[in-house]
Structure 1
Amino acid sequence: MAKLVILMLQDGNFDRGFQALLQIRGDNPPTETQIQIPGTLPPAPEIPALLDRWRSSFRSLNMARIEAISTQIVRPDPQVAGELADRLNEWLNSGDKKWRQIRDLLLQNSHEQLRILLETEDIHLRRLPWQAWDLFSTGNYKQTDLAFSPRSYQQPQPSFSQSQAVRVLAVFGYAKHLKLELDRQVLEDLGDRQADIEILQQPSAEELRHLLRQKSWHVFFFAGHSQSDANGEIGKFKLNEREWMEIVDLKNSLDWAINKNGLQLAIFNSCDGLGLANQLAQLHLPQSIVMREPVPDEVATQFLQEFLRAFANRESFYVSVRYARGALEDTFHHQYPGVSWLPVICQNPAGIPPHWEGWLNPQRSTVNSPVNVDGFPPLTVTREQSDAAIDRAAIARSPLTPKQLIEIGFSLSVISTVSLLASYVWGTSDPWIQTFGDRGWTIEMARGMLLIVGIIYLIGTKFSREAAEVFAFRSPSNDPYEILNLFRWFVRVFSFAIAILLLDHHLWTGPEELKSLVESTGSDWLNYRLPYLLYLPYSTINFALTVWLFAGGSYAAIEDLLDLRSQSLNLKNKLELINEENVKDDRACQYILDAFKIYCYDVIYLAKRYTSLFSGLATAILFETIASRSVFGQDTLSESAKAWFWVGAIVVAIVLLIIFWGFSHYETVFQQTSHCLSKFEVNYQQFEKENNSFNVLRRISRSNLSMYLGVLMFLISIGLMFWLPV
């Protein structure tokens, strides 16, 4: 059964991730949504910079079909395209639980005949080369292509009367420095394929409007100069030497052409066309093809030639675009790295992908003929309905925004500073100063700022959802062994017990300990109890942040390890089944490779997720190592506080050990997979070379600054312990 897959990405950014919703519907004929799964695409803050570097290569070409070209020529760097594709795959194959369920469902449907649409208004997401996702090298995804979809759409009412020829209105605009005669020759050659081409050479706006209204067209084609605004919302094309046209200038004529005359497809074989596609989608055009970036002249011509060669020879619309991409990659990938990513499809979900044979004889075209939808309500989706679908999907909380993180950090910093000044300066006493020093508050402030910044960053960007779920008064939705629920109760009881001890220390034990160290003739309340009471807000903030981090990090570690264990057992069981039944089918081999690739991505994500935690732990240890030595000349921690600090460090270290224990399990699965692949006609030695533990560690550490910083600070701490006097 044919399926239509719609992936919605809304409400987010690369710093805090995107809320996601996956819908799967029947396709041809269209049906209502069969499956709907919410999720969250995790943060990937480095992707926009990589995307900009790749885009700059095409925006600096001097032979592109765009008029406003920079005079500075940048030589395309092949490594940039490779880095962008690698990082994109790591992101989209992320092991994050809230995204993995979407990715796995996409893979489970790879044997179906399907189309996949991406619905988003984020311009960076629309500019990303989604075709580089290795999902499109799996199963039937090899025979399709990703298309962008508008958030609001309706089914057009085209005329499907039989035609003796495929009618194409071809407009050739202002062509300074361009070789548009090659595009014209490609179109004219379609005469052998029952095509009727009408060509307009630099027409006036009125002439173009007249032809759009006067006749029925299957295809509107434009070649020449075009460009879009910075947000990819509005586009324009140069009709002749004097006139630039926006889609809004043709709104009524195009609306008539689409809904009265049956216009099905627009092809803008010109530069920077995302704005054009966006405006055409608002007019409910069934589909369009544009170039996402400035396109070299020879690339534009070859894409048109290869696409029409396949499409006019009865290939499907999506297969034809995919075929043309492959031709561009084969011809130009050394000269223009990432060139096959330039063509973009924009698809109306209510429209039916065009077919050359279907245009010529709709009654004989069963696959692509219009569907009788009399028994269904009109296929119309508004922006409000799209928003409501996402709201109803119970999408998990997204991480805190940078603004919220700054506000929380600033508030806690102010409270901590006031508390320290009150206990060390305004409400201090001689016993307090003699014990902790008159400069102790500066050291304490540095410690407090370190904890506030580090822990809020980790909670806000890495463990926001887990920290919230630990203290939520509802059971986890996926907890077959009740481990997560037991841990949540343990954290609550543990936190309550520590809070009691904290209050006892500041209200009774601490003052008594201070009194035993330094005798004073003044008031016990002013000399011993008041400083500890004023110090309590600072301690409470540090305690709350530490418990929050411990709870979120530990909960995430348990959850991730349970998921990884489940994946490992599932993969091992399938490998054992293949071995027992002695299956040697090529599809089984490809299945093993795909399944292991997913497992490998999950392991890499798991390890990378906790490197920031390791870096934070190393920073705290380094600070305490320096603070406890003669660098400051004064110890500011009581023995109880020191004990609590090292208890916290040990707990976090245990979390990290658990995670790396989970990573060690990778070697077992890797060996079993390699053994299973040795029975197939596949280069399993290459598989072993690419996926051995050493190369996986290299992939984890690649561009992972937090890991290097953590190791460096940990080594410095060890050195200071030996070299600095106590």
Structure 2
Amino acid sequence: EPWQKEFGEDGAIIEFFRSILFAIGAIYLLGIVWREEARELVRGSRLSIKRWQRGIVVVGISIFITSFIYHLLIGPLTLQREYPHYNELFSNFWSPYILYLPYTIINYNIFALAWVFISLYGAVQDLKQNLARTIFLQERLTQIQNYFENKPLNTSFVEDMVQREFKQFSLKFISTISRYTVLFLCIGIIVLFEHNWGLKTLSDAAQRYQILVYVFNIMPLAMILWGFSHYHAAFRKASLCLFCLNCDYNKFERENGISALLTNILNSHFNLYVIITIFLVYLIFVITAKIIY
């Protein structure tokens, strides 16, 4: 009874749907979006991967021990202090936490930990590859500029060459971004679920841990935004190359600027429209509820 009073009678149903969301998100992201990265972290033998593996083990063991201490000691004692008039201490306070422990281990120690580390690892690898492509493109543009400088040239030919080189870079960048639109969609759905239903089934400690998990899940999104600085650097280099060769750089900037890039990303990823739609519907729902009540 104290457990139900603290976390609600419908807590089991909410936890069931939370488990489904976690499982679907983890399986899709780790089995499809970051499948190669997950395979590298499990089977890789390079020194850098070994460091990631050691980090995962250390954090995993720490969270595992913390979960045991909380569910077998801190949680029951905290609940007992809030409901001191109940007898049968084991059945009222310890038993619910013991039964809840496997759920915590599966969702927060396995799914959440794998989700966080593999998405972080994927973001780091994507940033490295994007930086390498940026440097390669800049070197290629320098070669083009040095070759055609102070020579009679066909400006249309040079413009097409620069555009073609930059287009290849841009398409690979958009392809990289696509993985993070899926992550953004998953996080958005889970946050809406927690805000409306899930938080009332969590203790203060669980809420703090969940916020920490979300922060680490947002880190790959923040890291990949850094990739836009790579795009901008390559964009400025290409524009400067055309300017130095007396070519039409204004047309290039119109077709490849940040606004054009964002338009191409939106046109290429249906997930972003889903995210925007969910956010707008939720915003309308919240505003309507406040007006009515």
Under TM normalisation by the shorter chain, which class is it? 0.7 to 0.9
SS of residue paired to 1:446: helix
Contact 1:607 1:663 in 2 (8 A): no
Q: 1:673 deviation in Å?
A: 0.5
SS of residue paired to 2:46: coil
Residue 546 in structure 1 maps to residue 116 in structure 2: no
The equivalent residue for 2:67 is 502
2:207 and 2:136 map into 1 onto residues whose CA distance is 45
Q: 1:498 deviation in Å?
A: 1.3
The equivalent residue for 1:619 is 189
TM-score by length of 1: 0.37
Q: How do residues 458-537 of structure 1 correspond to structure 2 at under 5 angstroms? A: 458-472=29-43, 474-475=45-46, 482=48, 485-537=50-102
Contact 1:510 1:532 in 2 (8 A): yes
The equivalent residue for 1:603 is 173
2:167 and 2:54 map into 1 onto residues whose CA distance is 36
The equivalent residue for 1:447 is 18
Write the deviation string for residues 206-241 of structure 1: whole angstroms up to 9, x where unpaired: xxxxxxxxxxxxxxxxxxxxxxxxxxxxxxxxxxxx
Q: 1:582 deviation in Å?
A: 5.4
Say which of 209, 221, 229 aligns to 1:644: 209
Q: 1:568 to 1:485 in 2, by over 3 A?
A: farther
Q: How do residues 156-305 of structure 1 correspond to structure 2 at under 5 angstroms? A: none
Contact 2:3 2:96 in 1 (8 A): yes
Aligned residues: 285
Answer 1 or 2: which has greater strand percent: 1
1:645 and 1:711 map into 2 onto residues whose CA distance is 24
Q: How do residues 394-409 of structure 1 correspond to structure 2 at under 5 angstroms? A: none
Q: 1:594 deviation in Å?
A: 3.5
Q: 1:509 deviation in Å?
A: 1.5
2:59 and 2:289 map into 1 onto residues whose CA distance is 36
The equivalent residue for 2:125 is 559
Paired AA for residue 272 in structure 2: M
Residue 692 in structure 1 maps to residue 253 in structure 2: no
Contact 1:564 1:603 in 2 (8 A): yes
Q: 1:588 deviation in Å?
A: 7.1
1:458 and 1:617 map into 2 onto residues whose CA distance is 11
1:639 and 1:720 map into 2 onto residues whose CA distance is 27
The equivalent residue for 2:5 is 434
Q: 1:559 deviation in Å?
A: 0.1
1:507 and 1:472 map into 2 onto residues whose CA distance is 34
Write the deviation string for residues 673-711 of structure 1: whole angstroms up to 9, x where unpaired: 122123447554433332222222111111522112223
Contact 1:626 1:720 in 2 (8 A): no
2:212 and 2:41 map into 1 onto residues whose CA distance is 20
The equivalent residue for 1:97 is none
SS of residue paired to 1:702: helix
Paired AA for residue 140 in structure 2: K
Which protein is bigger by CA-based radius of gyration?
1
Contact 2:120 2:220 in 1 (8 A): yes
SS of residue paired to 1:610: helix
Contact 2:148 2:245 in 1 (8 A): no
Write the deviation string for residues 594-627 of structure 1: whole angstroms up to 9, x where unpaired: 4322211111011111101001111111111112
CA RMSD in angstroms, aligned pairs only: 2.8
Contact 1:431 1:519 in 2 (8 A): no
SS of residue paired to 2:43: coil
Contact 2:56 2:117 in 1 (8 A): yes
Q: 1:718 to 1:542 in 2, by over 3 A?
A: farther
1:524 and 1:565 map into 2 onto residues whose CA distance is 59
Write the deviation string for residues 32-72 of structure 1: whole angstroms up to 9, x where unpaired: xxxxxxxxxxxxxxxxxxxxxxxxxxxxxxxxxxxxxxxxx
Paired AA for residue 551 in structure 1: F
Contact 2:159 2:248 in 1 (8 A): no
Contact 1:621 1:714 in 2 (8 A): no
SS of residue paired to 2:201: coil
The equivalent residue for 1:671 is 236
Q: Any gaps of 5 or more consecutive residues in structure 2?
A: none
1:432 and 1:515 map into 2 onto residues whose CA distance is 10
1:454 and 1:474 map into 2 onto residues whose CA distance is 27
1:645 and 1:719 map into 2 onto residues whose CA distance is 26
Contact 1:611 1:706 in 2 (8 A): yes
Q: 1:714 to 1:698 in 2, by over 3 A?
A: same
SS of residue paired to 1:522: coil
Write the deviation string for residues 359-408 of structure 1: whole angstroms up to 9, x where unpaired: xxxxxxxxxxxxxxxxxxxxxxxxxxxxxxxxxxxxxxxxxxxxxxxxxx
Contact 1:463 1:553 in 2 (8 A): yes
The equivalent residue for 1:457 is 28
